Homo-oligomer: A and B are copies of this chain.
Amino acid sequence: MDGADDPGEIVNESLDLGYATLDLDRARRQGVAEVVYAPGKTTAEITGIVTALLAAGAGPVLVTRLDRAVDVPGGAYDAAARVMVWRPAATRSVDVAVVTAGTADGPVAAEAAAVAAAIGLRVREIRDVGVAGLHRVLARTGELRAADIVVVVAGMEGALASVVAGLVAAPVIAVPTSTGYGAALDGVTALLAMLSSCANGVTVVNIDSGFSAAMAAHRLAMTIEAARR
């Protein structure tokens, strides 16, 4: 922890496409290139950005929240996850468990899993093990404890995050979903509940953001890999 205190190491790499200013230093700095968030962009803009990112680097390129495949060669579109990927990364030896409380949490978990897999993490999905039938999650305790990182995806009251965090020692990244109605407040209730968890050290990302959970897992994987070196 004795890095040089040098603002000069801010690298001024960017590409102005007119409609976007790409951060071409991102992959060097954080291990993955900018991920393209599709909503609010035209197909032409998405195509242009993907093409530019493919040209600028060698690693994976991803688009999320994409309603249908765009026409850039070499990509694979995952409709359940609404994610499209070019040049997925080689598998890294970091295990992520993605756990859901109910069937309705599936699309968010799919996004988390697809993004994590595209950047090389090993993913195990454990579905529909909400706490109303506690034996379902208890039966998976072994799998959960075997993971390096656990992503818990849950809506309604989000209690699964607390229960899982009580069972494992690994980092728990909780993703509240907008599942449930009325008092579930479109995911705000699960968000607040996860932040207020009685289980120590649960961390939380934005509502329905499987992507954020995957990127948080990526940050940890970067540190784990550095630790192994």
B136 x A14 contact (CB < 8 A): yes
Judge whether A10 is part of the interface by a CB distance below 8 angstroms: yes
A171 x B7 contact (CB < 8 A): no
Contact of A171 among B179, B212, B219 (CB under 8 A): B219
A19 to chain B: closest residue by CB: B103
Please provide the chain A residues from 113 to 149 with a CB less than 8 Å away from any CB of chain B in the complex.
122, 124, 127-136, 138-149
Query: Given the complex, which residues of B lie within 8 Å of A166, measured CB to CB?
Result: 131-134
Best-buried of A9, A37, A189 by chain B (most CB within 10 Å): A189
Binds B, one of A39-47, A50-58, A68-76: A39-47
Judge whether A60 is part of the interface by a CB distance below 8 angstroms: no
Interface band, chain A: 35 or more
Instruction: Mark contacts of A1-28 with chain B using CB atoms, 8 A cut-off: 1 yes-contact digit, 0 otherwise.
Output: 1111111011111101011110101100
Judge whether A91 is part of the interface by a CB distance below 8 angstroms: no
Contact of A31 among B37, B124, B169, B202 (CB under 8 A): B169
Q: Bound complex: CA of A138 vs CA of B138, how far in Å?
A: 11
Judge whether A204 is part of the interface by a CB distance below 8 angstroms: yes
Judge whether A88 is part of the interface by a CB distance below 8 angstroms: no
A226 nearest CB across to chain B (Å): 7
Query: Given the complex, which residues of B lie within 8 Å of A6, measured CB to CB?
Result: 141-142
A19 nearest CB across to chain B (Å): 6
Please provide the chain A residues from 184 to 213 with a CB less than 8 Å away from any CB of chain B in the complex.
184-209, 211-212
Contact of A7 among B10, B23, B181 (CB under 8 A): B10
Contact of A1 among B12, B124, B162 (CB under 8 A): B124
Judge whether A79 is part of the interface by a CB distance below 8 angstroms: no
Q: Bound complex: CA of A207 vs CA of B183, how far in Å?
A: 6
Q: Bound complex: CA of A147 vs CA of B1, how far in Å?
A: 6
Query: Given the complex, which residues of B lie within 8 Å of A25, measured CB to CB?
Result: 133, 135
B198 x A102 contact (CB < 8 A): yes
B195 x A135 contact (CB < 8 A): no
6 further A-B contacts with Cβ under 8 Å, apart from A32-B200, A40-B103, A132-B199, are: A1-B95, A23-B135, A30-B200, A131-B166, A171-B219, A182-B207
